[in-house]
Chains A and B, each alone.
Chain A
Amino acid sequence: MLKLEKRPQPSRLWTWVTPLLAVVITMLAGGALFAALGKDPVEAIATIFWQPLFGEFAFYYRPQLLIKGAPLILIAIGLSLGFRAGIWNIGAEGQYIVGALTGAGVGLAFYPTESVLIFPLMVLAGALGGWAWAMIPAVLKLRFGTNEILVSLMLVYVAEQLLAAMALGPMKNPEGMGFPGSRNLRQYESAHNAELITGTGMHWGVVAAFIAVIFAYVLLTRHSLGYHIRLTGQAPRAARFAGVRPARLVLVCLGTAGALAGLAGMFEVSGPAGQVSIDFNVGYGFTAIIVAFLGRLHPLGILLAGLLMALTYIGGEIAQSNMGLPAAAIQLFQGMLLFFLLAVDVLTNYRIRLARREVA
């Protein structure tokens, strides 16, 4: 009979093996799912994981991996700081939207002035917007003891309404014949978050994501703040004895997460998306939660997880279009990834022992 035995300490080896194991199990279960739908499972899995990287049109898909992965990584890095300290910001999607709105707002306000200062100002505004939106749950938590999970999540819906209002009202393109949606920032040079090198997909948001990864790595391993964050997550009581001020940590973690999510939104709206539209947000803020956990809340892990997630998105789209797989099957496939990760996580904290059945 199999028996689970708690490990004295979480296994370091399994911490890193479980995500890979989860990917493999997802491939198997996903393959079974695709086979049940009457598609060739090997071809489907190969399409999802191989085509974007090495297929015929990889020259187009590889840059798309960066474009799709960058906002996920940027947001997940911010979230991971809070998650490590037990501060649960579920509302990154809202902070992403507000950052996009403030960033785009600055750009649109200057239209059609051309200046090299406009884009940096938009970056600043985007970060501030996201930060301010995240400060709402932070301050409410500190002043009134509200639950940041609920407040930050609810604020996503508020942000979505705000987005719709902006796309239909103040930010609506005056030349858009009454249709909703702002001017296209990609056609406004000073505000356009263009590719830095054509054909690489490398835009400022990708650069920011890489900087965030490095910054978070240094913070967590070298800086006392990083130590405090880790300590609070692992042993809240000990952290208090060590002089950690929980209030400050809440402000820092939520604020950083908000600012990074806001940046991600700003880079997206001024680049790949191009305009403030009612359906601007597509769930990066929520998917980033998966990315953060898949990456073990570790900056490098998040980098890899973000790219993996982007791969399943892009490969999934190819599989849909080329093989006629339904969109829901792809979403299910992605959902399985988190599901199996959480399931195999048990191996990190427990070991499986063969136990002899005891005779009663």
Chain B
Amino acid sequence: MKLTHLLTSAALALGLATTAVAQDKTKVGFIYVGPIGDGGWTYEHDKGRLAIEEHFGDQVETVYQESVPEGADAERAITQMALQGADLIFTTSFGFMEPTVAVAEKFPNVKFEHATGYKTLPNLSTYSARFYEGRAVQGHIAGKMTKSNIVGYIASFPIPEVIRGINAAYLHAKKVNPEIEFKIIWAYTWFDPAKEADAATALIEQGADVILQHTDSTAPQAAAEKAGNVITFGQASDMAEYKPLPRVSSIIDNWSPYYIARTQAVIDGTWESQQVWQGIDKGMVEIGEITDAVPADVKDEALALKQAMAEGEYHPFTGPINRQDGSAWLAEGEVADDGTLLGMDFYVEGISGQIPN
């Protein structure tokens, strides 16, 4: 048992050593949960990869694997990249957390970066974006624009990130439109155009004239365009092809600055494990162009809200806010702490329905 174990580690080390010598380029790997052409989440991560290539040129080589299932297959995909001599590996979905941890433990000399998770190691960082800041802007526009007072929300999985987005959007819609009602459909997928289109259609049939989505395809945009008089927002990517209607704005994840900075850190030998959560201020979250379909005053308010968050003057979760059951969460003027936000598993007051479990 011991001997074989030693042999394996030796072989692993050898594999690493030979590849490390064979190349002087820094190799950066990406593990994607969807296809790079999804037009949303993975598409933006891949734009970050291309930005690395453009920024560093011949200094850096990038590799990627798309549509990697979350689970045992991910572990092999990540291991395979580490074996092939990657110096830095980004795993870009929450479901890659356990596999990334398992591989990172086996390859202490390779640096790992896991998006949206919470487990770290000396050679494993986590990074995520404060998408909820973008949701606040969306909520504001949605609350102002809706005529039926019903906002449809295509949610993916009931994890804190998604729940946080629903809460942020709801709070800011409610602020400008007390009559607002949210209808939420859980699609249990990050990317499935057929399911997303079905969900959008169902929400529109229930009277929603605004569709917010936490899934990555443009199918809901297409469904809204077909239905007419429904507005949507680009998710993860600008989804500009649906401008000016139904898409009136978008949340864009801009990973490029972060990816370039972390690659630079590996090249310089200054990389350290960290937990990063950046928002509009650092440019990781961008608000896509607000089209002319939105009245000028609403657009100005939305941009002011964005500006206030960028400058740190305003936090989307500022009290008084109660939980769904009516119990107090944040007192007047109190701002939510990151710990609670990161583990958020409750709706705020006013949202009907249950978080599935």
> Complex: how many Å from CA A178 to CA B73?
24
Specify the chain A residue showing the minimal Cβ separation from B32. A327
A228 close to B (CB within 8 Å):
no
Specify the chain B residue showing the minimal Cβ separation from A274. B98
Does the CB pair A184–B81 fall under 8 Å?
no
Near A by CB (< 8 A), chain B positions 25-70 give 29, 35, 63-67, 69-70
Does the CB pair B344–A169 fall under 8 Å?
no
A50 to chain B, nearest CB (A): 15
Specify the chain B residue showing the minimal Cβ separation from A321. B65
Chain B residues near A326 (CB, 8 Å)? Answer: 35, 66
Does the CB pair A177–B5 fall under 8 Å?
no
State whether A318 and B160 are in contact (beta carbons under 8 Å apart), knowing that A177-B118, A277-B70, A278-B188 are contacts in the complex.
Answer: no
A45 close to B (CB within 8 Å):
no
Specify the chain A residue showing the minimal Cβ separation from B1. A198
Does the CB pair B7–A321 fall under 8 Å?
no
> Complex: how many Å from CA A268 to CA B95?
16
Report, as a range, how many residues of chain B touch the other chain: 35 or more
Specify the chain B residue showing the minimal Cβ separation from A314. B76
- Of B7, B71, B75, which contacts A277 at CB under 8 A? B71
What's the dominant secondary structure at chain A's contact region? loop
Chain B residues near A275 (CB, 8 Å)? Answer: 98
B157 to chain A, nearest CB (A): 6
> Complex: how many Å from CA A180 to CA B76?
22
Does the CB pair A168–B15 fall under 8 Å?
no
A66 close to B (CB within 8 Å):
no
Chain A residues near B83 (CB, 8 Å)? Answer: 57, 60
Does the CB pair B65–A320 fall under 8 Å?
yes
> Complex: how many Å from CA A200 to CA B66?
27
- Of B63, B70, B71, B188, which contacts A322 at CB under 8 A? B63
Chain A residues near B29 (CB, 8 Å)? Answer: 321
> Complex: how many Å from CA A185 to CA B73?
17
Does the CB pair B160–A317 fall under 8 Å?
no
A193 to chain B, nearest CB (A): 12
B313 to chain A, nearest CB (A): 29
> Complex: how many Å from CA A64 to CA B357?
34
B158 close to A (CB within 8 Å):
yes
Chain A residues near B35 (CB, 8 Å)? Answer: 326-328
Chain A residues near B81 (CB, 8 Å)? Answer: 321
Among B80, B157, B342: residue with most chain A CB under 10 A: B80
B356 close to A (CB within 8 Å):
yes
> Complex: how many Å from CA A165 to CA B69?
19
Chain A residues near B15 (CB, 8 Å)? Answer: 56-57, 59-60
Does the CB pair A172–B357 fall under 8 Å?
yes
A282 close to B (CB within 8 Å):
yes
Chain B residues near A165 (CB, 8 Å)? Answer: 356-357
Near B by CB (< 8 A), chain A positions 180-234 give 180-181, 184, 186, 197-200
> Complex: how many Å from CA A280 to CA B98?
12
Chain A residues near B345 (CB, 8 Å)? Answer: 178
Among B29, B65, B84: residue with most chain A CB under 10 A: B65
B126 to chain A, nearest CB (A): 12
Report, as a range, how many residues of chain A touch the other chain: 35 or more
Chain B residues near A279 (CB, 8 Å)? Answer: 69-71, 95
Chain A residues near B343 (CB, 8 Å)? Answer: 177-179
- Of B5, B11, B72, B160, which contacts A59 at CB under 8 A? B11
B278 close to A (CB within 8 Å):
no
> Complex: how many Å from CA A165 to CA B94?
18
A324 close to B (CB within 8 Å):
yes
Near B by CB (< 8 A), chain A positions 275-306 give 275, 277-280, 282
B68 to chain A, nearest CB (A): 8
> Complex: how many Å from CA A226 to CA B70?
39
> Complex: how many Å from CA A179 to CA B71?
15
- Of B7, B80, B157, which contacts A180 at CB under 8 A? B157
State whether A282 and B73 are in contact (beta carbons under 8 Å apart), knowing that A59-B8, A179-B118, A180-B158 are contacts in the complex.
Answer: yes
Chain B residues near A164 (CB, 8 Å)? Answer: 188, 356
Chain A residues near B84 (CB, 8 Å)? Answer: 57, 321-322
Does the CB pair A168–B4 fall under 8 Å?
no
State whether A197 and B118 are in contact (beta carbons under 8 Å apart), knowing that A60-B83, A273-B71, A322-B84 are contacts in the complex.
Answer: no
Chain B residues near A67 (CB, 8 Å)? Answer: 72
B77 close to A (CB within 8 Å):
yes
B328 close to A (CB within 8 Å):
no
> Complex: how many Å from CA A168 to CA B188?
11
Chain A residues near B296 (CB, 8 Å)? Answer: none
State whether A168 and B357 are in contact (beta carbons under 8 Å apart), knowing that A177-B342, A180-B159, A328-B35 are contacts in the complex.
Answer: yes
Near B by CB (< 8 A), chain A positions 253-285 give 268, 272-275, 277-280, 282
Does the CB pair A199–B80 fall under 8 Å?
no
A111 to chain B, nearest CB (A): 16
Specify the chain A residue showing the minimal Cβ separation from B356. A168
Chain A residues near B118 (CB, 8 Å)? Answer: 177, 179
State whether A324 and B63 are in contact (beta carbons under 8 Å apart), knowing that A67-B72, A164-B188 are contacts in the complex.
Answer: yes
B79 close to A (CB within 8 Å):
yes
> Complex: how many Å from CA A301 to CA B200?
46
Chain A residues near B8 (CB, 8 Å)? Answer: 59, 198-199
B-side interface residues toward A, CB under 8 Å? 1, 4-5, 7-8, 11-12, 15, 29, 35, 63-67, 69-73, 75-77, 79-81, 83-84, 94-95, 98, 102, 118, 157-160, 188, 342-345, 356-357
Top 7 nearest A-B pairs (CB, nearest first) are: A272-B72, A178-B345, A169-B357, A199-B8, A327-B67, A177-B343, A282-B69
- Can you list 29 contacts pairing A with B, beta carbon distance less than 8 Å? A57-B83, A59-B11, A60-B79, A168-B356, A168-B357, A172-B357, A177-B160, A177-B343, A178-B344, A178-B345, A179-B343, A197-B1, A198-B8, A272-B72, A273-B71, A275-B98, A277-B95, A278-B188, A279-B70, A279-B95, A314-B76, A317-B73, A317-B76, A321-B29, A324-B63, A324-B64, A327-B35, A327-B65, A327-B67
4 more A-B residue pairs beyond the given contacts A200-B4, A279-B69, with a C-beta to C-beta distance below 8 A: A56-B15, A59-B8, A180-B157, A282-B71
